[in-house]
């Protein structure tokens, strides 16, 4: 019988297709191919009417059986595929709690910030408080009050960025001295860490860098207290007793003025080719002096009653010296691994 032959052929090709089905999508394609509107089984069912009446009944029964079979097998295979996929997904998402933990890097202070905190801690231990001032500063505080009038050549050395209204990016943290004196009066002991700006940009100068200002105002402050304070600070910061020397210098806001050199932290003066001190054995680390009476007066304090000293330290340089950072540009680099290697363990 032609009908029977077709039925078996459809069953065989369905079985073969089903054996090759590996995904739900493939299974769906098989479903359409056999039971869809133009599917093989559907066409067979439609052709039933064309059979002679005596064959129709048994062919109809056979076709119904085949349809049930196909539907059942589609269902079973679908379940099998779904189960297998679920299991695969479950395995791939399973968390193996016995695996070793991957290395974890935690955040850390930037070396300059670290340095700032360390020096601030030391100074706070000596009774100093932290004061701050604006980075966008008035010319009056940045220069005028600090004994640097418009004609003064020191303005050239601290060339900066000006705003149309005459304000500027502060060139040093010294203006906070004036602001603090005006706000708190005397006696006074403050440090002021912060960013400063100059029109400088080469391998050893950045247009933005960090300073820390210090100011002590009291009655009859001797010169020796300034020397002792600065020496104490650098020794505590580097964690060892370093030789220091005070060199006469000039700053418009102090009189007399000095610069502090410390023994080279790298070679202690024993290496004439030292890359840090270039064989001099000394490192310049701070500017300081006894506060000029004009500056004390600008802070609305009577210089006949009070005197004191002030200093300024470059924090970037201190960080480079302590942490052995040889290139200023690394301080602006996002590569954390450089610091993590030599720096780890220093963070509090």
Does residue 63 belong to the site contacting ligand DAH (CB under 6 A)?
A: no
CA neighbor of 129 nearest in space, from 196, 214, 232, 210: 214
Q: Which parts of 193-232 interact with ligand DAH (CB under 6 A)?
A: 213
Helices (H), 164-314: 175-184, 223-238, 293-298
Q: Which parts of 304-323 interact with ligand DAH (CB under 6 A)?
A: 310-312
Cβ 146 to ligand DAH, closest distance in Å?
A: 8
How many chain residues are in contact with ligand DAH, going by CB under 6 A?
12
Does residue 189 belong to the site contacting ligand DAH (CB under 6 A)?
A: no
CA distances from 94 to 102, 229, 318 (A): 17, 62, 50
- Tell me how far apart the alpha carbons of residues 28 and 208 are, in angstroms, rounded to a whole number: 67
Cβ 109 to ligand DAH, closest distance in Å?
A: 24
At a CB cut-off of 8 Å and minimum separation 6, what does 341 contact?
Answer: none
- Tell me how far apart the alpha carbons of residues 263 and 280 are, in angstroms, rounded to a whole number: 9
Residues facing residue 217 across a β-bridge = 188, 308
- Tell me how far apart the alpha carbons of residues 36 and 14 are, in angstroms, rounded to a whole number: 13
Cβ 323 to ligand DAH, closest distance in Å?
A: 22
Using only C-alpha atoms, what is the Rg of the chain?
42
Cβ 187 to ligand DAH, closest distance in Å?
A: 17
Does residue 289 belong to the site contacting ligand DAH (CB under 6 A)?
A: yes
- Pattern of binders to ligand DAH over 15-54, x per CB under 6 A? ----------------------------------------
Cβ 308 to ligand DAH, closest distance in Å?
A: 10
Does residue 298 belong to the site contacting ligand DAH (CB under 6 A)?
A: no
Residues 189, 208: contact at Cβ < 8 Å? no
Residue 171 is classified by DSSP as S
Helices (H), 94-153: 111-125, 139-142
Q: Which parts of 237-266 interact with ligand DAH (CB under 6 A)?
A: 251, 253-254
Does residue 147 belong to the site contacting ligand DAH (CB under 6 A)?
A: no
Cβ 260 to ligand DAH, closest distance in Å?
A: 10
Binding-site member from 288, 298, 319, 325 for ligand DAH (CB under 6 A): 288
The residue with its CB nearest to ligand DAH is 312
- Tell me how far apart the alpha carbons of residues 243 and 240 are, in angstroms, rounded to a whole number: 10
Does residue 141 belong to the site contacting ligand DAH (CB under 6 A)?
A: no
Cβ 329 to ligand DAH, closest distance in Å?
A: 21
Q: Point out which residues bind ligand DAH (CB under 6 A).
A: 172, 174, 213, 251, 253-254, 287-289, 310-312
């Amino acid at each position: 019988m032609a009908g029977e032959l077709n039925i078996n052929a459809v069953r065989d090709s369905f079985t073969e297709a089903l054996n090759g089905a590996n995904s739900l999508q493939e299974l769906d394609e098989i479903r359409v191919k056999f039971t869809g509107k133009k599917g093989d089984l559907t066409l067979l069912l439609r052709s039933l009417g064309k059979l002679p009446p005596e064959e129709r009944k048994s062919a109809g029964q056979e076709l119904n059986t085949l349809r049930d079979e196909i539907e059942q097998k589609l269902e079973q295979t679908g379940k099998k595929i779904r189960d297998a996929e679920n299991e695969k997904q479950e395995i791939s998402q399973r968390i193996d709690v016995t695996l070793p933990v991957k290395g974890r890097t935690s955040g850390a202070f930037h070396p300059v910030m670290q340095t700032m905190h360390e020096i601030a801690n030391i100074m706070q231990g000596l009774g100093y408080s932290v004061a701050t001032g604006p980075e966008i500063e008035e010319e009056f505080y940045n220069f005028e009050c600090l004994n640097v009038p418009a004609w003064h050549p020191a303005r050239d050395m601290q060339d900066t960025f000006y705003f149309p209204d005459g304000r500027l990016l502060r060139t040093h943290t010294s203006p906070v001295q004036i602001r603090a004196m005006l706000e708190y009066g005397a006696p006074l002991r403050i440090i002021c860490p912060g960013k400063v700006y100059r029109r400088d940009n080469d391998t050893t100068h950045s247009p933005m860098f960090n300073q820390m200002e210090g100011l002590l105002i009291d009655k009859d402050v001797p010169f020796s207290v300034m020397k002792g304070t600065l020496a104490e600070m650098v020794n505590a910061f580097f964690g060892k007793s370093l030789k220091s020397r005070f060199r006469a210098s000039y700053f418009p806001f102090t009189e007399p003025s000095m610069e502090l050199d410390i023994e080279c932290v790298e070679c202690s003066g024993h290496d004439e080719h030292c890359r840090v001190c270039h064989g001099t054995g000394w490192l310049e680390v701070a500017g300081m002096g006894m506060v000029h009476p004009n500056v004390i007066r600008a802070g609305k304090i009577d210089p006949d009653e009070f005197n004191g000293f002030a200093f300024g330290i470059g924090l970037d340089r201190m960080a480079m010296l302590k942490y052995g950072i040889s290139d200023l540009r690394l301080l602006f680099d996002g590569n954390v691994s450089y610091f993590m290697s030599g720096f780890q363990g220093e963070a509090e």
